[in-house]
Chain A
Amino acid sequence: MTVTEARTSPGPDTRRPLRAGPPAKVRLRRAATPWLFLAPALLLFLYFKFIPMAQAVRMSFEEVRPFLGNTYVGGANYTEIAGSSDFGAAVWHTVVLAVATTAGSIVLGLALALLLEGQTRSLWFVRSAIFLPVVTAMAVVAEVWRVMYYPAEGGALNSVLSVFGLGPSEFLNSPDSSLASIAFVGVWRGAPYDMMIFLAGLAGVDRVLYEASAVDGASRFRRIWHVTLPGLRPVFAILLTLAAIRGLRIFTEVFLLTNGGPDGSTEVLLTLTYKLGLERNELGVAAAGTVLLFLVLLVLTVASRLRRREAR
């Protein structure tokens, strides 16, 4: 932001004879221009991202007492949240959901992409239809699946199960199946997204290699194993990190499908911090949870950025 900014072009004032003012003033204006264009974004980020984050860090070391003033409590909030069994369970559920949803979406998404690769009109139609869950708001998806999962005979999904002589399942209403039911919704919404990314990756695989493998008499399976999958390696790396980040910030679907129940069997990190902070008003402890989650997200993001740079 200094006035003596290194520029490749020679003196700016020679270019604009009509606006020639004192050179220092012009140079100052030139240096200020990018910051004026950036100001709205930076101000909004400061207000709604960085100040809240700083407040979370501060609150995590305090006992927050509205109107009475906060008191410094050191690491007490951290020991409280890390030591609670709720937190341990929430971490476990978050990890299980993230891993199951990620693995399911990637495997299914790849299968869909391989099956639906191509340029014909019917393929385009099927791909668009499959993609609808991704653009539908999460709140709508959650409500639709609550109806689909109606836990008695005659419920939409239970009717399907009964055709195969199975069910009726309790789905969201039983601690045994609740987490799996949420993960299934995650795969349903995540697989089409992954499919689109894989399709973009498949378009980048060198066609000449397919021809060469055909000339060599390689089977379809060998062609996918030796040509397609290696070509998709950067896509896998990106999808894995994206999905891990998505998994950690899972909130809306759990909040709407089960709100952590039954018996806390689906409580995840963000439903737990939401309850701690906004329902039980233990803001300090909730802030400690926020900070811990943020640190994990930060590590994952940095890792994914480094990976992406390597992939290029």
Chain B
Amino acid sequence: MRNETALGLREARGPWARAARFVLYTVLFVIFAGPLLALMVGAFTPTVDPTQFTLFPDRLSLDNLERAIDRGVLDYLLNSFIVVGFGLALQVLVSVFAGYALARKRFRGSAAVLVIVLATMTLPEEVLAVPLSVLLADLPVVHISLVGSLAGMIVPVAAWGFSILVMTEFMKEIPRELEESAKLDGAGEFRIFWQVVLPLCRPALGVIGIFGFTMIWDQYMLPLLVATDPAQYTLPLALRSMRSDDQVGIGVLLVGAFLAMLPSVLAFLALQRSFIRGLTSGAVKG
């Protein structure tokens, strides 16, 4: 079809148009991906100084990596993986349960629950920092302190409004007849949930999986409130202390930043389709 895009750029052919497009793509690539590529390169060159930050190094080395490992970068990475692993598993479970109730059940108060879920999205950790720090030190009723333990970074991220809404929207699309016929076969509530509804939700599970992953991996305020000792730092939190390493320069920081960047970038590249679906369902359709 002619004029397939708003600008109609597909019409433009010929060597000049092609060259112009190549230049445009290169410029955009350098502006947006360039700093992150320079970070990767810097992590594997003997960088000691910010003036040596470059895309084209003289030689490669693993010195920075060795120093960063000496400084415990792998322990921070492990903390991050523990938090994201348990946090995401819980978040998926909680969202799937809540989505099932909101999408598949008719009950009094469901509209109010939806409003509550939406309201939580205006209360992110950053905004609640001050009261949250008081609460984490002494949870009401149970009187446990989550400060100083990784659990304090895991439990609060288990319920996330975005994941619940995505799950709810998706589960609404599943035809009710499937459920009815399972019921006629004598399946109980939990079996319907587990064996009929959940297997059909795989695309939505991909969406909340990758979004939950990046959300938890990106957490900064919560670990900042919870960690009392560098031994509990997640990798993003540890970067700040790595930056000021006078003896070895910024090389250690670059390795840490590289390792903190890698998992979410790899997850994005592997699950792009889900990611973009989540972006548009979360933002455009609401």
Contacts and interface: CB of A to CB of B under 8 A. Distances in A.
Interface in B228-258: 236-237, 239-240, 243, 250, 253-254, 257
Nearest to B238: A139
A183 interface: no
Interface in A255-303: 255-256, 270, 273-274, 276-278, 283, 286-287, 289-290, 293-294, 297-298, 301
Interface string A225-237: 0011000001100
A205 B4 CA distance: 10
B284 A38 contact: no
Interface string A1-30: 110010110000001101000000000000
Interface stretch (A50-58, A84-92, A96-104, A174-182): A50-58
Interface stretch (B60-68, B109-117, B198-206): B109-117
Contacts of B108: 1-2, 5
The contact size tier of chain A is 35 or more
Given A38-B101, A112-B28, A148 B53 contact: yes
A183 to B, nearest CB: 16
Contacts, number: 305
A52 B53 CA distance: 43
Q: Majority SS of interface residues in chain B?
A: helix
A65 interface: no
Given A115-B9, A144-B36, A211-B3, A51 B101 contact: no
Interface residues of B, number: 102
Interface string B262-286: 0011011100100110011001101
A234 B51 CA distance: 45
Contact of B268 (A42, A47, A135, A224): A135
B6 A156 contact: no
Given A37-B97, A48-B132, A294-B127, A238 B284 contact: yes
Given A55-B134, A56-B131, A147-B53, A188 B107 contact: no
A95 interface: no
A33 B3 CA distance: 53
Nearest to B98: A41
Contacts of B110: 34
B120 interface: yes
A137 B6 contact: no
Given A5-B107, A51-B135, A270-B127, 5 more contacts: A33-B189, A40-B159, A56-B128, A137-B214, A290-B130
Interface of B: 1-10, 24-25, 28-29, 31-33, 35-36, 38-39, 42, 50-51, 53-54, 93-95, 97-98, 100-102, 105-110, 113, 116-124, 126-135, 139-140, 155-156, 158-159, 164, 183-184, 186, 189, 193, 214, 217-218, 220-221, 225, 236-237, 239-240, 243, 250, 253-254, 257, 260-261, 264-265, 267-269, 272, 275-276, 279-280, 283-284, 286
